[in-house]
Structures are given as C-alpha cells and as structure tokens.
Chains A and B, each alone.
Chain A
Amino acid sequence: MATASGLFLSEQNRFLVRRLLRNRAFVVGATLVAIVLLAILLAPVLTNGEPNRLAIRMRFRPPSGDFPFGTDNLGRDMFARVLYGGRLSLEIGLWVVVLNAVFGILLGALAGYFQRLDGPLMRLADALMAFPSVLLAIGIAAALGASATTAVIALAVVYIPRTARILRASVLVVRELDYVHASRAAGANDWHILFRHVLPNCMAPLLVQLSFVFAYAVLSEAVLSFLGLGAPPTVPSWGILIAEGRSYIREAWWLTVLPGTAIAITVLGLNLLGDGLRDVLDPRMKIEQS
C-alpha cells in the first residue's frame, strides 16, 4: 500500500516537473532568479570582494570595463556593492517567506479546521489587512526602530494574514472531501487528519502565494530601507543603495538606476515563477495580490 502510493506520487511529481519545464513563464522566471542567486553567491569571485573599500580618487566613475557598475561618491565599486547588497535584500525576503510558511500554515490550518477558532482568527486577520500593506509595515518598523530584523518582522506581520487566509480557504474545501470523512469514520483524530490528509493537499496554493510573498518582500524591503527603516547603511541592501544614490542623482545616475534594476530583475523573475507555478499547480486560482 505504502509503496504503491509512493510510486504514484513520484510519477505525479515527475508529471508536474515536466509540465513546469514546458511552462514558459516558469522557465524564464526560474532562469532570472537563478542568475541573480548565482551572481550573489559568486560575488567574492566576480568582484574584488570588498564592497566597502574606499578609493576617493576613483569617485564617480561611470560604468566601464574596470567598474561594470561604476563607482560611488567615495569611490566604492558599485558592482561589488550591488552584489553584496543583494545578499541582505534576499536574506530579508527569505526570512519573511519562512515566517510566512510557518505561521501561515499554523494559523490558516487552525482557522480552517477548527470552526471555533475561525471567527476570532479571521477578525484579527481582517483588522491587520485593513491597513494597506506598506502602511502597516512602515508603522511596525517605525515603532521597533530601524534594523534588518525589524524589517523581517514588519513584513512578516503584513503578509502572514494574507497567507493564512489562502491556506484557510483551501483547508475549508479539503476538509469536506470524502476521504477526510472516511478517515474520520475510521477513527483518526483531528491532528492526524489535519497533518496527514488535509494539509498535504493544500500545499499548491501555498507555494504559489509564497513565491509572490518573496517578490513583495524584496520590493517592500527596498521601500523600508529607502525611508530609513531598514538595515543600517554599513551593510548595504538594494534599498539603501538607492537611497544613498539619490543625493547624487544629477551627477551619477548609475548609483540609483543599477541597484533598482537588480530589484526589478529579481522581482520580475519571482513574479514569473509564481505565475508559472499557479498555471501548472492550480489553474483555478485567480490573481491574488494586494
């Protein structure tokens, strides 16, 4: 029995992978994200490895063979700063995704499966979602004080209610399916049903949502950093680089334009990836963005 279902699943997975690889949006998106990740991981090899090395005599060099992204007001190599800055931006995005997965599953499953918890949990989610997302993140980050951890917490609090709502919606549907009733009739307890039968069948919309959360988190982190609510400027993130470049926008356009392009490529890749996943995994799901 176990081996039979195992074989069936892997065949289904192979089928899904084949369909994903035939989906143009997914392939383009995954390629863009892979290029960004590779460039960031290989930053020590691709650049001089010193994003903070000052060279005042080299200041404000436009992009050239020596400095592909030019240099800033202190002569620092922008190519190194953008690649190293991406580490922090993506790290913050990744933590937001992890927190969203954990708490989104927990709260969404509780609300969807245990009807008594549904009302209170969803009212709380409504209240949090009554604040437009950027506004709430700014409020929380402004209260907690500027740091990378603050940005992660603020963005996680903003997106968790949305993720939990999506998971709750699928739990509500799956909960009423015949095999769940069958399992209950066979004497399985709630936790067993929830974790073994219900949740595994709610993963597709969650995966799609998480890829979009990643994209929003990278975008919003840039907004927070730009407003002075992100990480301190000693370790640059993409948002901080844009904010710093803003003062020299007349003399050195590359200081603002290039870090923003890095954000755009990353977010575009993640959005395409999410679109592709949605088309393949869950054709019914409508555009769910806010």
Chain B
Amino acid sequence: MLAYLVKRLLQAIPILAIVSLLSFGLIKLVPGDPAVVMGGTTATFEEIEQIRRNLGLDRPVYVQIGAFYWNLLQGDLGNSLLLGQPVVGAIVERLPVTLWLASYALALTIVLGLATGIIAALQHNTWIDQVATGIALIGVSLPNFWLGLVMIVVFSVHLGWLPTSGYVAPTDDLAGFFRTATMPATALALLQIGLLTRITRSAMLEVLRQDYVRTARAKGLSEWSVVMKHALANAMIPVVTVIGLIFSVLISGSIVIETVFTVPGMGSLLGNAILRRDYPMIQGGLLFVAAALMMLNLAVDMLYAYFDPRVRVQ
C-alpha cells in the first residue's frame, strides 16, 4: 500500500511540473503586451509600466520562470491586480463557499444518480427504464448555466419561492443555506446526475447477469438482499472511480454557475478575474484548482486501491 502511494506520488510530480508550466505560460499566450491588456483602455503610460514592473514582465523570461517557481515553492501565487490581495489568500477566503455548494451538488448527484440508475437497471426494458434513461440523456444535453437561468425564471420570477442570488453559510443558518444553494446546486448537479445514472445503470445490468446473482436468487434470498448486498456492492467499482471525477467537474462548473447566481465563492472570483483580465488571479486560481483536484483524485485512487487490492499490483 505504501509502495503504491509512493509510486503514485512520484508519477504526480512530472504532471504537476507540466501543469505549473502551463499556468506560467498562460500569460505568454496573451497576444500583444499583457500589461497593456490588463491596464485597459484608460491606463496611462506610467500605470502600464507599474503593472509591468509588478508582474516582473520587464525581466528576462528565465528570471521570470525562476521567480515563479521560487514563489510557488513558498506557497505564493502572486497578487491579484483587482483586489490588491494575495491570490492564495483570496482563494482560501472563498473556498469554503464553493466546497459547500459542490458538496451539496455531489450529495444530490450520488443520491439521485444512484437511485435512478439502480431503478432503471432493475426495470430493464420497461417504460420506467425508458423514462429514467430519457431523463438522464436530457440531463447530459442541457447547458447547466442555462438551466440555472430557467430555474430563476420559474422559481424566483414567477413563483417567488427562492431568491435569485446570494449565499448563506450552512454554519450560520441551515434553512437559509438550502434556500439560497438549492438552485445553484441543482443546476451544477444535473449533468452529473445524468452521467451517474447512465454509468450506474450499465454497471448494474452487467452485474445482474452474473452467475453469483443467479446463485443468490436460487438459494432463496429476498430480492432486496440480492440487489442491495450482492449486486450493488460489485456494481460500485466503476461508480466509485467516477465520483472523484464528478467532484472535480462540479468544482470547475462552479465558475459559471456561481456567476449566474452571484454566489461569492471561488468560482465567481475566477469568473470576475476572467472578465476583468486579472491574469495573476486567473493563473493562480487555475493552478490552485488543478493541483487540488489532482490531490483529490490521488486520494480517491488510494481509497480504491485499499478496497480493491488488484489495483495495487498492476
């Protein structure tokens, strides 16, 4: 187990190196002079010079790379131009909001996705199966931010049940959290619910055909015990692998969903940085999210290896 962890950590190093290099290189992709782009149309010559000096763009590229990695190793991702605040600090401040929202969406995804997938598989080729797979297919085909806007039209504008925007932390007021976070979390989760339904359904269908399921039935176990104990446990293997992936998609999806519902989380922080061309914030934010999600996937893989020893040997 330890050997597997060390191996996976060593594999992560070159990937992290390339990811950080990509994030550094982002500003080199900016056509023309990044300092002028960031300064906007109203900036004076001195202001542009100031931005250039602050970002170290007046120095040779190798010095810039060196400084970038030196700061990175100390956990410093530079300063946001808009907020005048360290990028890491700004992210850490807003991270809890995004994590709560994404966790809510993940809970919705797991409960609804698993239930629909299992029911569809058990009712294979009946109208219930067709309705469930149909809904799942529509779920993976809708633009999630558009669904958020449609929900605002229906539930806020017409019915007046839920507020159009804002956020209340669950630690402050749980009811308030559910009132503000339900629409964003649903919009965020919908695509993933569809995806998980499809994966659960096909995994369950595969398992239900196996001999040991027939044996379990033959020895007179109740249908509940056959499905829940014998079939589901084995159908979970492909499902568990995608849950880490689902969480990372939920986090990155928060950029657009938090913008739609003006939720003050990391997603809208990045969304605003993009609109206002705050490159240090964009670079730092993308690198932070990518690195965090890599670590998360590593943790999921470790869990997976713990439960399924075959993975370790490969």
Partner of B146, one of A127, A260, A287: A260
Residues of chain A within 8 A (CB-CB) of B249 are 132-134, 290
Q: Is the CB of B19 within 8 A of A131?
A: yes
Residues of chain A within 8 A (CB-CB) of B282 are 139, 142-143
Q: Is the CB of A144 within 8 A of B30?
A: yes
Q: Which of B50-58, B62-70, B71-79, B149-157 contacts A (4 or more CB under 8 A)?
A: B149-157
Q: Is the CB of B146 within 8 A of A130?
A: no
Q: How many A-B residue pairs have CB under 8 A?
A: 142
Specify the chain A residue showing the minimal Cβ separation from B149.
A256
A235 beta carbon closer than 8 Å to chain B: no
Q: Is the CB of B275 within 8 A of A227?
A: yes
Q: Which of B39-47, B103-111, B223-231, B250-258 contacts A (4 or more CB under 8 A)?
A: B250-258
A271 beta carbon closer than 8 Å to chain B: yes
* Min distance, Cβ B254 to any Cβ of chain A, angstroms: 10
* Min distance, Cβ B293 to any Cβ of chain A, angstroms: 6
Majority SS at the chain B contact face: helix
A126 to B13, CA, bound (A): 12
A133 to B255, CA, bound (A): 12
Q: Is the CB of B286 within 8 A of A264?
A: no
Q: Is the CB of B195 within 8 A of A226?
A: no
Sort chain B's interface into a size bin: 35 or more
Enumerate A204-245 residues with CB–CB distance to B below 8 Å: 215, 219, 222-223, 226-229, 239, 242
B9 beta carbon closer than 8 Å to chain A: no
Chain B residues packing against A (C-beta within 8 Å): 14-15, 18-19, 22-23, 26-27, 29-31, 37, 137-138, 140-143, 145-147, 149-150, 152-153, 157, 195, 198-199, 202, 238, 245, 248-249, 251-253, 255-256, 259-260, 270-271, 274-275, 277, 279, 282, 286, 289-290, 293-294
Q: Which 10 A-B pairs have the closest CB atoms?
A: A127-B18, A260-B146, A132-B252, A143-B29, A268-B141, A267-B141, A135-B252, A143-B26, A142-B274, A139-B286
Chain A residues packing against B (C-beta within 8 Å): 123-124, 126-128, 130-136, 138-140, 142-145, 215, 219, 222-223, 226-229, 239, 242, 246, 249-250, 253, 256-257, 260, 263-264, 267-268, 271-272, 275, 286-287, 289-290
